[in-house]
């Protein structure tokens, strides 16, 4: 059986404007790879309600798992939670269990749980909370969509909270061969190899160093033996290449 599939929805004007560099996709891809979940798509949308709702509906229908990041804080532009509720046609309210978590957190800090902070306790009906050991404000899961914070340290903690409960598959393995030839020189043999090993993913990633053109050829799959066989065949085609 093939591995479960996943998509990620990154939400925020600050990402699209270049003001903030997204680090969460890289982390999620690594964690899903180890867990045997194939991350197939990453979509970035602005802080626009209609765009978020449409993206949530499309990705939820198209993939086994969906992870969102961003837009669940206390400010006016944090609109992810109500948009997810809208996407599934359910109500959203300040929920008692989420409020209790926030109240305890701000009591420990000696800080008021004001109206703005209480926005982070809004949870769609039917959702389960995602633990946040970093800053307390929970994320939530609704059907196959897991809604998480955009701050990398909090996002990573939430991924760790959710991942054990997600159905995974076989971890994705990979090996790399560095070939100091231009892609135009290796494209033909590489295409033939990809046909022979069509159960594997074979990708070419070019580089230029000190005026020398080359490519890192990465072979990915879930069967270590097949990857070994493909690497042997690739090395025979390019004896000068170096494993990396």
10-residue stretch averages of pLDDT, the chain, 244 residues long: 92 93 95 95 97 98 98 95 98 97 96 96 98 96 98 97 93 94 94 96 94 94 95 95 88
Domain boundary among 165, 196, 231: 165
Complete edge-to-edge strand list for the sheet that includes strand 212-221: 201-209, 212-221, 173-179, 242-243
**What tokens were used for 130?**
């995602």
Domain count, the chain: 2
CATH of the domain at 58: 3.40.980.10
One domain, residues 79 and 152: yes
**What tokens were used for 232?**
């042997």
Q: State which residues form the domain around 100.
A: 5-165
Pairwise CA distance, residues 87 & 57, whole Å: 6
Pairwise CA distance, residues 51 & 233, whole Å: 46
In this predicted structure, what is the pLDDT of residue 1?
A: 59
Residue 45: its H or E element: strand 38-45
**What tokens were used for 94?**
């300040």
One domain, residues 37 and 96: yes
Domain boundary among 119, 144, 165: 165
One domain, residues 218 and 236: yes
One domain, residues 51 and 152: yes
Domain boundary among 165, 199, 220: 165
One domain, residues 160 and 182: no
What values do phi and psi take at 242, rounded to 5? -125, 130
One domain, residues 57 and 117: yes
In this predicted structure, what is the pLDDT of residue 2?
A: 85
In this predicted structure, what is the pLDDT of residue 104?
A: 97
> What's this model's pTM, rounded to 2 decimal places?
0.87
């Amino acid at each position: 059986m093939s591995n479960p599939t996943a998509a990620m929805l990154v939400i925020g004007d600050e990402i699209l404007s270049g003001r903030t560099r997204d680090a969460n996709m890289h982390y999620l891809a690594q964690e899903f790879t180890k867990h045997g979940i194939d991350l197939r798509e990453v979509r970035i949308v602005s802080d626009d309600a209609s765009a978020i709702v449409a993206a949530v509906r499309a990705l939820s229908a198209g993939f086994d798992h969906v992870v969102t990041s961003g837009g669940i804080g206390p400010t006016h532009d944090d609109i992810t939670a109500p948009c997810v509720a809208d996407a599934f046609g359910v109500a959203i309210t300040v929920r008692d269990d989420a409020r209790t978590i926030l109240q305890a957190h701000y009591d420990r800090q000696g800080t008021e749980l004001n109206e703005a902070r209480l926005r982070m306790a809004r949870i769609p009906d039917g959702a389960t909370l995602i633990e946040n050991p970093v800053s307390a404000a929970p994320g939530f899961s609704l059907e196959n969509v897991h809604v998480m914070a955009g701050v990398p340290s909090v996002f990573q903690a939430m991924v760790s909270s959710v991942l054990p409960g997600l159905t995974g598959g076989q971890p994705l393995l990979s090996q790399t061969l560095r070939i100091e030839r231009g892609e135009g020189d290796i494209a033909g043999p590489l295409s033939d190899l990809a046909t022979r090993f069509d159960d594997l993913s074979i990708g070419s990633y070019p580089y230029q160093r000190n005026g020398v053109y080359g490519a890192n050829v990465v072979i990915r799959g879930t069967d270590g033996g097949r990857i070994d066989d493909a690497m042997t065949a690739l090395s025979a085609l390019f004896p000068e290449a170096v494993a990396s």
